[in-house]
């Protein structure tokens, strides 16, 4: 996979543009200004990715090699779909042999080789539906899920952390031995118990912050590599 470098502006659109609409709320104007001047947004358009988030996954993979050789991938919180685009490509997924399952409660435009479930991941039926949709044991579980913002920082933070935790339990339930789990979290937000649990089940557990994740954002990614397998659980419970 090629290194995601951001070399100047190749979309033909100038960086450093200002939004002058005075009727807009100042926070919305700032957001729009930052968005149109963001080189990753421009590069995503140029390279056909549905979101700038693509570069976070590409960067993490460049450094930590989590997608190489993956045969089946589950993408949690997938809309608009840039991670699923990458997942479909690396697994060689096609509509005749689907190897990627994606879930989001938002509507997502169809993607070749990806089965999309428009469903809340916290719905009790979601895990079984995802496994059925991906057609076998996944090697990688990705979660870029972020709870919709309420405006109350602490509430948003706790809800996203909860999603990360449920995704981690799901990964431990479904991953094949040697598989990897990557999930969005927040700086200093990962609970100690969750880290302990992941360390029991994976050979390596680290936090990563790709350059394409905005520096001012507290967003981080939790990466758990090389799943040890469910034999471990059976031994621990004596089942
Ligand atoms: C940052 S976006 C994902 C971007 C995506 N990785 C991409 O590359 O296009 C986070 C997504 O998580 C979804 N999400 C949040 N909570 C969810 C839940 N409980 N179930 C399903 N999707 C959820 C949101 O609807 C949103 O689309």
Q: Ligand 1 in contact with 105 (CB < 6 A)?
A: yes
Containing H/E element for 42?
Answer: helix 39-47
% of the chain at pLDDT higher than 70: 83
Q: Ligand 1 in contact with 146 (CB < 6 A)?
A: yes
**pLDDT tier, 231 (very low <50, low <70, confident <90, very high otherwise):** confident
The domains found in the chain, sorted by start residue, are: 18-48 (no CATH), 51-237 (3.40.50.150)
**pLDDT tier, 189 (very low <50, low <70, confident <90, very high otherwise):** confident
**Interval between CA 81 and ligand 1 midpoint (Å):** 9
User: Considering the chain, what is the average pLDDT of its residues?
Assistant: 88
Convert the pLDDT of each residue in 110-142 to its tens digit.
999 999 999 999 999 999 999 999 999 999 999
Q: Are 104 and 82 in contact (CB under 8 A)?
A: no
Residue whose tokens read 């190489």? 68
Res 17: pLDDT = 64
Name the nearest CA neighbour of 178 among 57, 94, 72: 72
Q: Which two tokens stand for residue 48?
A: 């056909």
Convert the pLDDT of each residue in 196-220 to its tens digit.
999 999 999 999 999 999 888 889 9
Q: Is 90 left (phi over 0), alpha (psi -120 to 50) or beta?
A: alpha
- The Cα–Cα gap between 91 and 69 comes to 7
Residues whose CB is less than 8 angstroms from the CB of residue 237 and which lie 6 or more positions away in sequence, other chains included: none
Q: Is the pLDDT of residue 7 over 50?
A: no
Tell me the mean pLDDT in the region 161-165: 95
pTM to 2 decimal places: 0.87
**Interval between CA 147 and ligand 1 midpoint (Å):** 8
Active-site annotation, residues? 184
Convert the pLDDT of each residue in 16-46 to its tens digit.
666 666 777 776 666 667 766 788 998 999 9
**Interval between CA 5 and ligand 1 midpoint (Å):** 25
**Interval between CA 170 and ligand 1 midpoint (Å):** 16
Q: Ligand 1 in contact with 163 (CB < 6 A)?
A: yes
Quick one: which atom of ligand 1 is closest to the CA of 184?
1
Res 51: pLDDT = 96
Taking CA atoms only, the protein residue closest to ligand 1 atom 5 is 78
Res 15: pLDDT = 59
Residues whose CB is less than 8 angstroms from the CB of residue 160 and which lie 6 or more positions away in sequence, other chains included: 145, 146, 147, 184, 185, 186, 189
Name the nearest CA neighbour of 39 among 64, 4, 68: 4
Pocket test residue of 88, 142, 146 for ligand 1, highest count of atoms within 8 A of CB: 146
Q: Coil, helix or strand for 188?
A: coil
Q: Ligand 1 in contact with 106 (CB < 6 A)?
A: yes
Convert the pLDDT of each residue in 62-105 to its tens digit.
999 999 999 999 999 999 999 999 999 999 999 999 999 999 99
**Interval between CA 148 and ligand 1 midpoint (Å):** 9
Pocket test residue of 119, 145, 147, 219 for ligand 1, highest count of atoms within 8 A of CB: 145
């Amino acid at each position: 996979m090629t290194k995601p470098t951001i070399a100047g502006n190749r979309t033909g659109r100038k960086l450093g543009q200002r939004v002058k609409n005075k009727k807009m709320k100042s926070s919305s104007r700032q957001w729009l200004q930052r968005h149109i001047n963001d080189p990753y947004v421009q590069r995503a358009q140029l390279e056909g990715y549905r979101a700038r988030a693509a570069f976070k996954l590409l960067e993490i993979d460049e450094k930590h090699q989590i997608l190489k050789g993956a045969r089946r991938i589950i993408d949690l919180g997938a809309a608009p779909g840039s991670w699923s685009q990458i997942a479909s490509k690396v697994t060689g997924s096609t509509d005749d042999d689907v190897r990627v399952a994606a879930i989001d409660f938002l509507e997502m435009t169809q993607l070749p080789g990806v089965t999309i479930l428009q469903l809340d991941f916290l719905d009790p039926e979601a895990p079984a539906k995802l496994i059925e949709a991906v057609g076998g044991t996944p090697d990688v579980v990705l979660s870029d899920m972020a709870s919709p913002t309420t405006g109350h920082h602490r509430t948003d933070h706790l809800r996203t952390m909860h999603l990360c935790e449920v995704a981690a339990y799901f990964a431990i339930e479904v991953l094949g031995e040697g598989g990897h789990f990557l999930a969005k979290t927040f700086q200093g937000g990962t609970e100690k118990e969750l880290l302990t649990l992941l360390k029991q089940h994976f050979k390596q557990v680290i936090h990563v912050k790709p350059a394409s994740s905005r520096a001012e954002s507290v967003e981080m990614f939790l990466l758990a590599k090389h799943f040890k397998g469910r034999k471990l659980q059976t031994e621990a419970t004596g089942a």
